[in-house]
């Protein structure tokens, strides 16, 4: 029995029945633990927040031992398995995605369940992650992201037949509150359009606003993706930063964008043609330093434009226009709110924004759609009234 623990109040157990005790000191003081002997003399241990939880896990372990379902090898912990899972996906995930997953696992997940064996993780353990994050001020959106990572790890463990089921699927995630940011309204958008005239990135800002593009996507547009005579764009990828700071083109993961041909307003096409003329001047200035990579928006030598540079230029544009502060991503929100205010259906906006599902569009823009729905209802009411 550990020196810093106190046994559960009960008579002596047989080896295969297990031992339950509570830690009384150290960083995990108050936590309950159990140990049980496996066939062959090895032991398994697992922990929980209460004596009742640990006793239930002990009963589960005894059942698995009696039915030959528990391996005599040392149980793999969640942290060990998650790191191996992430390493195995290094060729599937983008660098920034891998980095985000690892940071979130280390900050929020491993301190809670990293030391638990995969088989010992229960619903309550996943809920404990949620509560710890919410208690420290993290937004529901962040909790949902972390939950999705944990669920992906456990789903893989289920596929590997290391756990009977993915317990994360049985835990509700906190609901996101309605968005607190208000996108630019139609009048503000017109003010912005007026202010961007003659800006070196006028075409970039117009293309973003007209098509609801993400910052990496608009910086990754290539001339071969555009049909300027037909006035269309077929989005195929985005600019991403690799380790070491180099920017590269990364194809879209799904067919959502690759199969969607976006019709461009004629004013956007005009701005792109003017930008092409301006780029021709830059090529002549750079001479042999210019590296032709087909990108529409570039630096002075033909490399793709740094998305952070687009962000900084957008902030300067807002100041010049005298508009309230916005993120670059809010241009995408402004595009959606404009389309909804003009009566487009939610599914049409979802298709343009290339969301993986209508529920995402509804979660983000549902409140705007409800406002538009009232306007459309009032128009229908006026129409019916005219017929009476």
- How far is Cα 147 from Cα 125, in angstroms, rounded to an integer? 12
Band of pLDDT at residue 3, cut at 50, 70 and 90: very low
- How far is Cα 233 from Cα 155, in angstroms, rounded to an integer? 37
Same domain, 190 and 307: yes
Same domain, 268 and 161: no
Question: 354 CB contacts (<8 Å, ≥6 apart)?
Answer: 235, 252, 256, 257, 260
- pLDDT, tens only, 182-213: 888 888 989 999 999 999 999 999 999 888 88
What is the rounded average pLDDT of the residues 25-46?
71
- How far is Cα 12 from Cα 19, in angstroms, rounded to an integer? 9
- How far is Cα 181 from Cα 344, in angstroms, rounded to an integer? 21
Look at residue 13 in the predicted model and tell me its pLDDT.
Answer: 46
Band of pLDDT at residue 111, cut at 50, 70 and 90: very high
How many CA atoms does the CB half-sphere of 317 hold within 13 Å?
Answer: 28
* Residues 28 and 2 sit within 8 Å (Cβ to Cβ): no
Same domain, 161 and 270: no
Q: Report if residue 355 sits inside a domain.
A: no
Q: Is the pTM of this model over 0.75?
A: no
Which helix (H) or strand (E) covers residue 361, if one does?
helix 358-387
Residue entry with tokens 């389309």: 339
- How far is Cα 353 from Cα 220, in angstroms, rounded to an integer? 16
Q: Is pLDDT above 90 for 354?
A: no
Which helix (H) or strand (E) covers residue 22, if one does?
strand 19-23
Same domain, 208 and 306: yes
Q: How many angstroms separate the first and last alpha carbons of the chain? A: 87
Q: Report if residue 347 sits inside a domain.
A: no
DSSP state of 246: -
Tokens coding 155 = 């789903």
Which helix (H) or strand (E) covers residue 155, if one does?
helix 140-159
Q: What percent of the chain has pLDDT over 70?
A: 75
Q: Is pLDDT above 80 for 338?
A: no
Q: Is pLDDT above 50 for 299?
A: yes
- How far is Cα 116 from Cα 162, in angstroms, rounded to an integer? 13
Look at residue 52 in the predicted model and tell me its pLDDT.
Answer: 86
What is the rounded average pLDDT of the residues 93-115?
90
Domain count of the fold of the chain? 3
Q: Report if residue 337 sits inside a domain.
A: no
* Domain ranges, residue 301: 186-325
CATH code for position 85: 1.10.150.130
* Lowest-pLDDT choice from 25-34, 311-320, 374-383: 374-383
Band of pLDDT at residue 12, cut at 50, 70 and 90: very low
Q: What is the mean pLDDT of the chain?
A: 81
Other Cβ atoms less than 10 A from the Cβ of 18: the count is 23
Q: Report if residue 367 sits inside a domain.
A: no
Region class of 151: left (phi > 0), else alpha (psi between -120 and 50), else beta: alpha
Domain end, chosen from 295, 325, 355, is at: 325
Domain end, chosen from 170, 198, 227, is at: 170
Band of pLDDT at residue 127, cut at 50, 70 and 90: very high
Same domain, 241 and 316: yes
- How far is Cα 45 from Cα 85, in angstroms, rounded to an integer? 23
- How far is Cα 89 from Cα 322, in angstroms, rounded to an integer? 46
Same domain, 27 and 101: no
Q: Report if residue 135 sits inside a domain.
A: yes
Same domain, 61 and 12: yes
42-46, 196-200, 245-249, 252-256, range with greatest mean pLDDT:
196-200
Same domain, 44 and 125: no
Same domain, 17 and 60: yes
Band of pLDDT at residue 167, cut at 50, 70 and 90: very high
Domain end, chosen from 303, 325, 347, is at: 325
* Residues 36 and 19 sit within 8 Å (Cβ to Cβ): yes
Q: Is pLDDT above 50 for 373?
A: no
Q: Report if residue 371 sits inside a domain.
A: no
Band of pLDDT at residue 11, cut at 50, 70 and 90: very low
Other Cβ atoms less than 10 A from the Cβ of 229: the count is 7
Q: Report if residue 378 sits inside a domain.
A: no
- How far is Cα 153 from Cα 168, in angstroms, rounded to an integer? 10
* Residues 40 and 83 sit within 8 Å (Cβ to Cβ): no
Tokens coding 15 = 């080896």
Exposed (0-12), middle (13-18) or buried (19+): which is 252, by Cβ within 10 Å? middle
Same domain, 42 and 153: no
Tokens coding 375 = 């306007």
Q: Report if residue 304 sits inside a domain.
A: yes
CATH code for position 245: 1.10.443.10
Which helix (H) or strand (E) covers residue 209, if one does?
helix 202-211
Same domain, 193 and 229: yes
Same domain, 221 and 272: yes
């Amino acid at each position: 029995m550990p020196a810093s623990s106190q046994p559960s109040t009960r008579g002596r157990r047989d080896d295969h029945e297990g031992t339950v005790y509570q830690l009384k000191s150290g960083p995990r003081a108050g936590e309950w633990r159990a140990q049980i002997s496996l066939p062959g003399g090895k032991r398994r241990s697992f922990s929980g927040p209460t004596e009742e939880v640990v006793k239930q896990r002990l009963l589960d372990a005894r059942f698995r031992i009696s039915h030959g379902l528990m391996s005599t090898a040392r149980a793999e912990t969640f942290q060990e398995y998650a790191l191996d899972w992430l390493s195995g996906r290094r060729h599937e995930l983008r660098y920034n995605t891998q980095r985000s997953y690892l940071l979130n696992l280390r900050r929020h997940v491993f301190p809670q369940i990293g030391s638990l064996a995969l088989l010992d993780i229960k619903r309550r353990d996943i809920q404990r992650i949620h509560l710890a994050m919410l208690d420290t001020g993290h937004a529901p959106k962040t909790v949902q992201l972390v939950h999705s990572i944990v669920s992906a790890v456990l789903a893989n463990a289920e596929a590997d037949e290391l756990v009977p089921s993915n317990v994360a699927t049985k835990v509700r995630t906190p609901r996101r509150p309605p968005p607190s940011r208000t996108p630019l309204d139609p009048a503000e958008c017109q003010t912005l359009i007026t202010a961007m005239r003659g800006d070196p990135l006028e075409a970039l800002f117009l293309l973003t606003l007209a098509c609801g593009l993400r910052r990496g996507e608009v910086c990754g547009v290539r001339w071969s993706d555009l049909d300027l005579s037909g006035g269309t764009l077929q989005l195929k990828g985005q600019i991403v930063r690799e380790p070491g700071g180099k920017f590269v083109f990364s194809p879209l993961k799904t067919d959502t964008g690759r199969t969607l041909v976006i019709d461009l307003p004629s004013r956007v096409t005009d701005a792109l043609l003017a930008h092409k003329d301006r780029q021709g001047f830059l090529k002549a200035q750079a001479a042999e330093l210019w590296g032709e990579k087909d990108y529409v928006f570039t630096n002075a030598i033909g490399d793709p434009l740094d998305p952070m540079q687009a962000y900084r230029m957008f902030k300067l544009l807002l100041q010049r226009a005298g508009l309230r502060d916005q993120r670059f991503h809010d241009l995408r929100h402004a595009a959606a709110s404009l389309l909804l205010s003009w009566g487009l259906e939610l599914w049409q906006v979802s298709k343009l924004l290339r969301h993986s599902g209508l529920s995402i569009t509804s979660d983000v823009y549902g409140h705007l759609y409800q406002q538009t729905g009232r306007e459309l209802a009032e128009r229908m009411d006026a129409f019916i009234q005219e017929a009476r």
